[in-house]
Structure 1
Amino acid sequence: MTTTTVRQVIETPRPPDRTAPRETRLRALDGLRLVAALMVAAYHYGGRGGEVTTAWGSSPKDQFPTLSGYFAYGCLGVQVFFVISGFVICMSGWGRPLKSFFASRASRLLPAYWVAVVLVTAVFALPTVAFKAVAPSDALVNMTMLQQPLGVDRVLGVCWTLWAEIRFYALFALCVVLPGASRRRVIMFCAGWTLAAAIAQAAKEPLLDIVLMPEYAPFFIGGVGLYLVHRDRRDVHAWGIVAVSFLIGQHYAVRGLWNAADPNAFAHRTTLGIVLVVAFGFLAVTAIALGRLNRANWRWLTVAGALTYPFYLVHEHLGWVVIHGLHTGLGLPSAETFALTVASMLLLAWLMNRYVEKPLTPKLRSALAKAR
């Protein structure tokens, strides 16, 4: 082979890697995050039709006779979040060392969370607020994010989902990030976790339930599988992971949330309605993974995604305070109260993102990444 031939072989560009993920920012995923958060807010504000709330002074079903039945499905926004989380964590952990992965996750979660815990604790401690604050000692434990396993009263009602997220991060970090992410390793992780979660369910062993989370695992695993689809839409194994995860996930969602026969339940839902909402979560992330929603590339969706986490943290408890003040205190109608409460929580989320997350997240990430 001549020198010229060798040079041509070296300089000839390689064909594009068809399995590589697109570099375009998935802004539609940011929008879907906010949709899931608003679903959960609708459930908290108007979907618990079976109970009299302090905020409204009556059952939300009395406030929203027609919409309350639909709002009841909003709690499934959590399952949609878990599918999104599986996709995002696999994407962010791919090719990243464990130290960097840890720094990224901790800096993303902690600043807004700490501020939310302080805000809710302080507001609930006010004598004019009609809601009970947790004990000071319990509030301090809440700063660790470990209040759920320690059996401590929660400052934020939604923080139980963060405990599920933390366990997922730990499993993914140990099984995928630490040894180094690859398609084969991710597939084995998904298959192994699916089987182990099924065994844990059959064994009825509390420790296995805590570690493997059988009721939530299918949603995280489905999201991971969809990231593999995003990398290569022809990956049959990835499609199999997604299909099995949906089939198992809808089962757990129906089993946990279908309570039409319980007169004391917070809300009543149909089996079909639950399955359809779960299917919506999987299909929406699938469309994003396949690039079907790439046209939704508006910059405001990035802002929407940035507001989602702080909004999710503060909307429930502080939203109750706003609802009580507007509806019971000022006598505003239910619809106006609902809209103003959502708007005020979004404004608070923007303030937290602007003055807490933006300045503190990069500093915390840098400090953790540099620490020995």
Structure 2
Amino acid sequence: MPTMAGPIPAEAASAPAPAPPRAPDDVLERSAERTAKAAARGGGHPVRLRALDGLRLLAALMVAAYHYGGRDGEISQAWGSSPREQFPTLSGYFAYGCLGVQIFFVISGFVICMSGWGRPLRSFFASRVSRLYPAYWVAIVLVTAVFALPWVAYKAVSPSDALVNLTMLQQPLGAHRVLGVCWTLWAELRFYALFALFVVLPGASRHRVVLFCAVWTLGAAFAEAANLPLLDVVLMPEYASYFIGGMGIYLLHRFGHDALAWGIVGISFLIGQHYAIGELWHPANVNAFSYRSATVIIAIVAFGYVAVTLIALGKLNWANWRWLTLAGALTYPFYLVHEHLGWVVVGVLHRKLGIPSYGTFALTVLLMLGLAWVLYRLVEQRLTPVIKRSLTTVRR
């Protein structure tokens, strides 16, 4: 606020100065607080968006379908032949499962904006570290140990690279990856850093989030045009729109219908589908594993945006089943372990035990969900609160 250049006039000193007009953001913030309090009446806590937990699990299962039946590579070695031969009808559909990652990123933009709102930087940092690392560390150790077994045909990374993987910084440091899915975690880390620096540190507000979304959108476009590796690494033009779209959806959730928030969501979708098409579409080619329709790619990306928006606006509050909370809790550990350990399980069930392809597929998913439950109960539930407390405790 501007400072007074001189003494207060005598006539003004005897009466209170008129209150300055309340800023639109202030009105919206107060309205949002009233809405949150109203939602909390009766139970003491806002309603959990359980449908969002279900959407997260659906996205993870999409990715698993892609890894088990929608591509070639090591999974072909596990099956003993290409998944096109194992799933002649479904393999083409499974190939679209990789778009579950785009849906994850939209959800992440929503959830991080929600969880970071009103938090100090230290608390935000502690929540992210305690959420990401415990299950990740165990997954790194598990996959490294299993791949080191003499009867497992997949090559383990070197001990040095395995240790680097524990930092989650293996990609920028040029180390071999233990987990194939960790490239998405590197994208998440960069998003967290940008959000912490430009929203959490100065204090989250509607105006600040809108500004952050606008500047990041333009910055990502400039990075794409400039073709400078450093800008690409920091601004992530190929993924930024999904995170930004999720943040725009959170603004709708917190403040209600708003032209700026709808604009953020709409522009982000338009850019996001462009990058999805650029990455996944190709002309029909008999040598390619599958042919993905541009229309279907756009439809799946649109589904992700629409589903998160409907959840944010309360249109799916009827899906308030308690089991969805557990489904959401299993999503992250399942996502970490399902690919590489799934190769081993598929090989054992299908080639050694002779279980048919569809039975092997279903059993592998169930076994990976079971392992995810073990990681959730024995690792995340025990280590997450310990790490969070240790990082938020102020030492004197």
TM-score normalised by length of structure 2 = 0.88
Q: Which amino acid aligns with 1:100?
A: S
Please list the CA deviations of residues 323-369 of structure 1 after superposition, one character each: whole Å capped at 9, or x if unmatched: 00001111110000000000000000000000000000000000011
Q: Distance in 2 between matches of 1:303 and 1:223?
A: 22
Structure 1 residue 42: deviation in Å?
Answer: 0.1
Superposition map of 1:293-304 within 5 A: 293-304=316-327
Q: Say if 2:206 is the partner of 1:183.
A: yes
Superposition map of 1:311-326 within 5 A: 311-326=334-349
Q: Distance in 2 between matches of 1:127 and 1:49?
A: 24
Structure 1 residue 82: deviation in Å?
Answer: 0.1
Residue 102 of structure 2: aligned partner: 79
Q: Say if 2:280 is the partner of 1:257.
A: yes
Contact 2:126 2:391 in 1 (8 A): yes
Structure 1 residue 267: deviation in Å?
Answer: 3.7
Answer with 1 or 2: which has the greater Rg: 2
Residue 176 of structure 2: aligned partner: 153
Residue 68 of structure 1: aligned partner: 91
Residue of 257, 264, 274 corresponding to 1:234: 257
Q: Say if 2:56 is the partner of 1:44.
A: no
- Percent identity over the alignment is 72
Residue 284 of structure 1: aligned partner: 307
Q: Which amino acid aligns with 1:332?
A: I
Q: Say if 2:370 is the partner of 1:347.
A: yes
Q: Distance in 2 between matches of 1:52 and 1:179?
A: 46
Residue of 50, 54, 59 corresponding to 1:31: 54
Residue 333 of structure 1: aligned partner: 356
Q: Distance in 2 between matches of 1:261 and 1:66?
A: 17
Aligned residues: 359
Q: Say if 2:384 is the partner of 1:361.
A: yes
Structure 1 residue 205: deviation in Å?
Answer: 0.4
Structure 1 residue 95: deviation in Å?
Answer: 0.2
Q: Distance in 1 between matches of 2:303 and 2:130?
A: 30
Q: Which amino acid aligns with 1:252?
A: Y
Compared CA separation, residues 260 and 72, structure 1 to 2 (3 A): farther
Residue 56 of structure 1: aligned partner: 79
Q: Distance in 1 between matches of 2:72 and 2:290?
A: 5
Contact 2:102 2:242 in 1 (8 A): yes
Residue of 190, 193, 207 corresponding to 2:230: 207
Structure 2: 5+ residue stretches without partners: 1-26, 40-45
Structure 1: 5+ residue stretches without partners: 1-13
Secondary structure of the residue that 1:55 maps to in structure 2?
Answer: helix
Q: Distance in 1 between matches of 2:81 and 2:159?
A: 30
Q: Distance in 1 between matches of 2:139 and 2:283?
A: 34
Contact 1:50 1:264 in 2 (8 A): no
Task: Give the aligned CA root-mean-square deviation in angstroms.
Answer: 1.7
Runs of 4+ in 1 over 3 A off after TM superposition: 16-22, 49-52, 260-267
TM-score normalised by length of structure 1 = 0.94
Q: Say if 2:113 is the partner of 1:105.
A: no
Compared CA separation, residues 138 and 262, structure 1 to 2 (3 A): farther
Please list the CA deviations of residues 46-104 of structure 1 after superposition, one character each: whole Å capped at 9, or x if unmatched: 00158871111111011011111110000000000000000000000000000000000
Q: Distance in 2 between matches of 1:211 and 1:350?
A: 34
Q: Which amino acid aligns with 1:218?
A: S
Secondary structure of the residue that 1:53 maps to in structure 2?
Answer: helix
Q: For structure 1, which segment, 238-247 or 40-49, has the greater mean C-alpha deviation from structure 2 after superposition?
A: 40-49
Q: Distance in 2 between matches of 1:263 and 1:189?
A: 44
Contact 1:50 1:265 in 2 (8 A): no
Compared CA separation, residues 121 and 282, structure 1 to 2 (3 A): same
Structure 1 residue 233: deviation in Å?
Answer: 2.3
Q: Which amino acid aligns with 2:316?
A: L
